[in-house]
Amino acid sequence: MKKIVYIKKTKKLLTPLLLLLIAMAANIHCQDKEKIKTLIITGGHDFERASFFKMFDEFTDIEYHEIIQPEANQAYTSPMIDSVDVLIFYDMVQEISAAQKAAFLTLLKNGKSMLFLHHSLVSYQDWDEFSKIIGGKYYLKNEDNEDPEQPQSNYKHDVDLQISVVNKNHPVTQDIPDFQIHDEIYGKYLVLPGVYPLLTTNSPESGEIIAWINHYRNASIIYIQSGHDHVAYENANYRKLIGQAIRWLAEPGPY
């Protein structure tokens, strides 16, 4: 029989969030302290779970836990978040309370590094500060745009995209050549002028800057637009990009 875990004082079942945080705390002493600790936040968008997490399983110097929205928003106030080196967002959600926004901003004030992937650009359409955090915005609805000249964003599946590396000497893109990826692309999305471009493309159907570094408060942030399915996850250059982005964010330097 499976044992039910509960809090003796309240007799309430532990939530998946609490169980995850307890597991993370228990693992701090038994795991390799040299490994980079990450928390992968998912939810709000389907994805190919097995092949996505296989990519992370093969990073020998990176360990991860997954937390699924909406519980991830609740984790921002937990002291266990301090044990995480990098937060990785692969979610697409809209609901976030005022208290959760404040906790999110506190993480950034405290210098918590964040990596946003693919459809995470679509999150929090009604939270204006989010676009300043991530460095851009995918516009779901034209009527919501602050800039009336900004058209609604769009996407297209199964595109062979030619990618150019802006600075091949940067630690995030070092030793990554210009490459091609078969992936879903986005077009007509906002990229803020203050970001540091990492990858670009000249495809007329895609936005020009498709990966960048942003700095918000005391935190370093990377957004990478690619990464829809197993074809992208299995691309050697994409995998190298993800690994190097996480390693740089764990100890961010100048850019």
pLDDT in tens, 36-56: 999 999 999 999 999 999 999
What is the identity of the amino acid at 34? Answer: E
Quick one: pLDDT at residue 2?
35
Give the whole-angstrom CA distance, residue 246 versus residue 220: 11
Residue 52: what are its φ and ψ, rounded to 5°?
Answer: -65, -50
Quick one: pLDDT at residue 252?
87
Inter-residue long-range contacts of 5-11, CB under 8 Å, 24+ positions, other chains counted:
none
Give the whole-angstrom CA distance, residue 159 versus residue 59: 27
Band (pLDDT 50/70/90 cuts) for residue 111 is: very high
Quick one: pLDDT at residue 253?
79
**What's the CATH code, domain 16-250?**
3.40.50.880
CA angle 210, 215, 218 (to 5 degrees): 155
Quick one: pLDDT at residue 98?
97
Q: What is the mean predicted confidence (pLDDT) over 232-246? A: 98
Quick one: pLDDT at residue 13?
40
Using the predicted structure, report yes or no on whether residue 200 has a pLDDT greater than 60.
yes
* Intra-chain end-to-end CA distance of the chain, in Å: 54
Asked whether the beta carbons of 37 and 85 are under 8 A apart, the reply is: yes
Band (pLDDT 50/70/90 cuts) for residue 238 is: very high
pLDDT, tens digit, 9 for 90 and up, residues 169-196: 999 999 999 999 999 999 999 999 999 9
What is the identity of the amino acid at 210? Answer: I
pLDDT, tens digit, 9 for 90 and up, residues 152-171: 999 999 999 999 999 999 99
Mean pLDDT of the chain: 88
Quick one: pLDDT at residue 79?
87
Greater confidence, 253 or 9?
253
Domain boundaries, the chain: 16-250
